[in-house]
Amino acid sequence: MTATDRPWTVLVPLKRLDRSKSRLALPPALRRAVAEAMLLDVLAAAAPVARVCLVSAEPAGDRYGVPVLPDPGGGLSAAVAHAAARFDGPVAVLSGDLPAARPAELAAALAAAAALDTAVLADAPGSGTTLLTARRGRWLRPAYGPDSHRRHVGAGMADLTGRLALPGLRRDVDTVADLREAARLGIGPASTGLLAAAGHTCVGSPWLAV
């Protein structure tokens, strides 16, 4: 087996659900439920493509049907680096707030990244990061936070952003406007079902007004 066809492990960081998505202007219970639904859609998109693990201190993290790697504290970058170092093979880190992610998009991104030591994919605005990859987990040096995409590229990571059209993989959700845009791309079944049950649909204007 060559370096470019070894199986991938996808790490999905999960912030404690009671603290997640504070900028998403929805009632607190719905905001938490949306965060969880988006996570379920990300896990479903990644499962056909790679082995999937959560990186989390969420007490209920083990209910999602995938292995949970501990978050030792120290912030997102430290947690991801700690988890990635467990794996000798290729590792990707995928944001958990990508409800429009598709398996085919993730597969295309990982195929493009397979021959690169490390790589990064920007979010839709171009400043953040939705995907990091490394051909060996211990090579991953995350630098999350403001302008993370620029800092990852500045650290020598190859930039996948201009090479592939991956709208669902780049559309992370922090605000209601982001959620509307994700819905235009087509969100996964967990997010669709949750919003429909809460009385929100993509029909009419404004959508998701609360």
Q: Is residue 186 part of a domain?
A: yes
Q: How many C-beta atoms lie closer than 10 Å to residue 91's C-beta?
A: 28
Q: Report whether pLDDT(205) > 60.
A: no
- Radius of gyration, CA atoms only, the chain: 16
Stated pTM of the model = 0.91
| Helix, strand, coil % in the chain, rounded to nearest 5 | 40, 15, 45
Q: Is residue 16 part of a domain?
A: yes
DSSP assignment of 57-92, as one string?
--TTGGGGSS-EEE--SS-HHHHHHHHHTT-SS-EE
Q: Is residue 37 part of a domain?
A: yes
Q: Is residue 4 part of a domain?
A: no
List residues forming the annotated binding site for phosphoenolpyruvate. Answer: 129, 145, 148
Q: Is residue 185 part of a domain?
A: yes
Cβ partners under 8 Å of residue 24, min gap 6: 31, 34, 35, 173, 174, 175, 176, 179
Tokens of 70: 């501990």
The model's pLDDT over 116-160, given as tens digits with 9 standing for 90+, comes to: 999 999 999 999 999 999 999 999 999 999 999 999 999 999 999
The DSSP call for residue 15 is -
Q: Is residue 203 part of a domain?
A: no
For helices 28-46 and 189-197, the axis angle rounded to 10 degrees is: 160
Q: Any idea what the CATH number is for the domain that residue 157 is in?
A: 3.90.550.10
Q: Is residue 51 part of a domain?
A: yes
List residues forming the annotated binding site. Answer: 129, 145, 148
Q: How far is CA 66 from the centre of its chain?
A: 15
Give the confidence band of 17 by pLDDT, cuts at 50, 70, 90.
confident
| Sheet with strand 158-159: strands edge to edge | 68-70, 51-56, 9-14, 91-94, 129-134, 118-122, 158-159
Range of the domain at 111: 9-194
Total domains in the fold of the chain: 1
The model's pLDDT over 19-68, given as tens digits with 9 standing for 90+, comes to: 778 788 888 888 889 999 999 999 999 999 999 999 998 877 789 999 99
Q: Is residue 14 part of a domain?
A: yes
